[in-house]
Amino acid sequence: MRGFWAALILAILPGGPASAEESPWFLRGEILGGANPAGLMASGGAFRRLPRGEAGVALGASPAYGQASAQAEWTPWPVLKLAISGELYRFFGAHDALLSFPGADSAFGDRERDALSGREEAGYGRRLLVQPTLRGRLRPFLLLNQTDWSQHRLSGRGPYFLELGYDTLVKSRDTVLANRSVILYVHREASGRHLYYGPYFEFLRARGSRLERARLGGALDLVFGSSRWPRSRPRFYLLTGLNLKDRNRRHQLFFAAGLSVEVH
């Protein structure tokens, strides 16, 4: 799902071009996984292509929560893509879901989470995500810069909660800001397969806790040729690197990967 630790890959990396013969309606399924922090999520939704974007609804589930969302994208100019999503969460009360911490200075790494196992809460949460992406081209490179404005509403003991998507602490009403830059080398093959890869940098700040994180790494996106899969567009994507600034994971490696398929 957009904005979460592994879904960042889908948000910043471009997909292959759509065929003019394809139906405006399509289904998209994704399986996302990561390490440090560990996580797993599967999602699926129905979408419709619009003249300058797409819109649709999706459902997702992980061991910690379930999610329903309405999403829309609009590209008013080739250099700008605007995405917005409204999301509703049901936390299951397990696997670090809706886990509370007493203060913004609390440690919340893997060891601290293990010590608090069993103190998770079941409940609901909401999020509004606004996500503009600037895009430029300097052949054979693609330049991307993306910002997240993520507004969170949570209920529980608090006063701070573990936000699993961004791996940070937030208040019951809070905002997370994130910015990512990536430079991708674009490789195309006659079969229609596209390969994008290059360096990646991310900076994140949670307003309520004033926690900040910086990451440097590499991104890869492989879009398989449509000639072999005429009614689908499989993609494999990968994001990995080093946490430069992080309260719990400084100088540690992180990893996220996933597989996405569109069916027309």
- Tell me how far apart the alpha carbons of residues 240 and 219 are, in angstroms, rounded to a whole number: 7
Among all chains, which residue has been given the structure tokens 């129905």? 46
**Bridge-partner residues for 83, per DSSP?**
73, 131
Give the mean pLDDT of 165-189.
93
User: Is 70 exceeded by the pLDDT of residue 205?
Assistant: yes
pLDDT bracket for residue 3 (50, 70, 90): very low
Q: Is the pTM of this model over 0.85?
A: yes
Q: How many CB atoms lie within 10 A of CB 86?
A: 14
143-182 burial by CB neighbour count: b if 16+ within 10 A, else e?
ebebebebebebebeeebbbbbbbbbbbbbebbbebebeb
Residue where the block lists tokens 């052949």? 139
Q: Please check whether residue 226 lies inside any domain of the structure.
A: yes
Which structural domain, as residue segments, surrounds residue 126? 7-263
Peptide bond just before 199 cis, omega within 30 deg: no
Could you give the CA distance from residue 78 to residue 1 in angstroms, rounded to a whole number? 24
How far apart, in whole angstroms, are the C-alpha atoms of residue 108 and residue 260? 31
Confidence of residue 233 (pLDDT cuts 50, 70, 90): confident
Query: Which CATH number do you get for residue 86?
Result: 2.40.160.40
Token representation of residue 43: 């999602």
Q: Is the pLDDT of residue 190 over 50?
A: yes
Instruction: Give the pLDDT of residue 10.
Output: 54
Looking at residue 231, what is its pLDDT? 64
Confirm whether 2 is domain-assigned: no
Confidence at residue 100, expressed as pLDDT on a 0 to 100 scale: 96
Higher pLDDT, 224 or 21: 224
Q: Is 6's pLDDT higher than 70?
A: no
14 pLDDT above the threshold of 70: no
Q: Answer yes or no: is 178 within a domain.
A: yes
Q: What is the pLDDT of residues 133-174, one digit of tens each?
A: 999 999 899 999 999 999 999 999 999 999 999 999 999 999
On whether residue 150 sits in a domain, the answer given is yes
Quote the CA–CA distance of 232 and 256 in Å, as a whole number: 23
pLDDT > 70? residue 18: no
Per-residue pLDDT band for 1 (boundaries 50, 70, 90) equals very low
Total number of residues shown for the chain: 264
Q: What is the mean pLDDT of the chain?
A: 88
Question: Percentage of the chain surpassing pLDDT 70?
Answer: 88
225 vs 117, residue with greater confidence:
117
Most confident stretch, 6-15, 104-113, 189-198: 104-113
Number of domains in the chain: 1
What's residue 193's pLDDT?
Answer: 81
The answer to whether residue 1 is domain-embedded is no
- The rounded distance, in Å, linking the Cα atoms of 130 and 56 is 16
b/e sequence 25-55, b meaning 16+ C-beta within 10 Å? ebebebebbbebbebebebebebebeeeebe
Per-residue pLDDT reduced to its tens digit, 43-95: 999 999 999 999 999 999 999 999 999 999 999 998 999 999 999 999 999 99
Query: Is the CB of residue 154 less than 8 Å from the CB of residue 165?
Result: no
In a domain, 32, yes or no: yes
- Average pLDDT rounded to a whole number, residues 241-259: 94
